[in-house]
Chains A and B, each alone.
Chain A
Amino acid sequence: TQLLEQSPQFLSIQEGENLTVYCNSSSVFSSLQWYRQEPGEGPVLLVTVVTGGEVKKLKRLTFQFGDARKDSSLHITAAQPGDTGLYLCAGVLKTGTYKYIFGTGTRLKVLA
């Protein structure tokens, strides 16, 4: 059972376009993180969101945590080829012990 579903799974867009990636769950997460992974490398943390409704901006990237802390979105404005990569959301589930769960991933390709 995949607890964190990401959509879309694949995305190919032209440079300059905007896009939104979604991360959804039926479970409540105490925090949620977004990573970007490039081929041959490990994931690199982009942002952590903790509070329901929180919005964080990182240059052209805007991250939002849902009010109920069950979902999140990543919006990229004016995408560039350097944004190409695998985007992963990940969350901490606290149920007695804690589990760190990764989303299914969104593979983004930005064409020049």
Chain B
Amino acid sequence: KAGVTQTPRYLIKTRGQQVTLSCSPISGHRSVSWYQQTPGQGLQFLFEYFSETQRNKGNFPGRFSGRQFSNSRSEMNVSTLELGDSALYLCASSLYGTLDNEQFFGPGTRLTVL
């Protein structure tokens, strides 16, 4: 069974630009969650999608948005990039959601904002 895949693996952008990251969950998994990982703040929850609907959201500004398609693939978009957005962005898939379900993480997309 293929694992969670994320593309691209590495990305370099400049301040003010926008970026779109992609996540393909494990086949059959309907929930995709996104996380931001930085040395200073650790792993922080961004949002969770289930069956194309955002089910839960962390404390991030509106510049961070996402969506999920009918095949459960998900995209995350960050607009008007800031230097502080440099981080490893991880997505995780699970059958029904983060609540009491095992999450499987992808390898992440490392975003560098210059």
Binding site for B on A (CB under 8 A): 2, 30-31, 40-45, 48, 50, 88, 90, 92, 97-105
With A and B bound together, what is the CA distance between A42 and B106 in angstroms? 5
| Contacting pair B42 A100 (CB below 8 A) | no
- Closest chain A CB from B89 CB (angstroms): 10
| Contacting pair B108 A42 (CB below 8 A) | yes
With A and B bound together, what is the CA distance between A101 and B92 in angstroms? 14
Say yes or no: A99-B4 contact (C-beta < 8 A), given A42-B105, A104-B42.
no
B99 at the interface (CB under 8 A from A): yes
Binding site for A on B (CB under 8 A): 4, 33, 35, 42-45, 48, 56, 58, 90, 92, 98-100, 102-108
| Contacting pair A99 B105 (CB below 8 A) | no
| Contacting pair A103 B42 (CB below 8 A) | yes
- Closest chain B CB from A59 CB (angstroms): 18
Chain A contacts for B102, CB-based, 8 A:
45, 48
- Closest chain B CB from A105 CB (angstroms): 6
| Contacting pair A31 B100 (CB below 8 A) | yes
Q: For A99, give its contact among B42, B56, B92 (CB under 8 Å).
A: B56
Say yes or no: A40-B107 contact (C-beta < 8 A), given A102-B42, A102-B44, A103-B42.
yes
With A and B bound together, what is the CA distance between A102 and B103 in angstroms? 13
Chain B contacts for A90, CB-based, 8 A:
43
Chain B contacts for A50, CB-based, 8 A:
100
Say yes or no: A102-B43 contact (C-beta < 8 A), given A40-B107, A45-B103, A97-B56.
yes
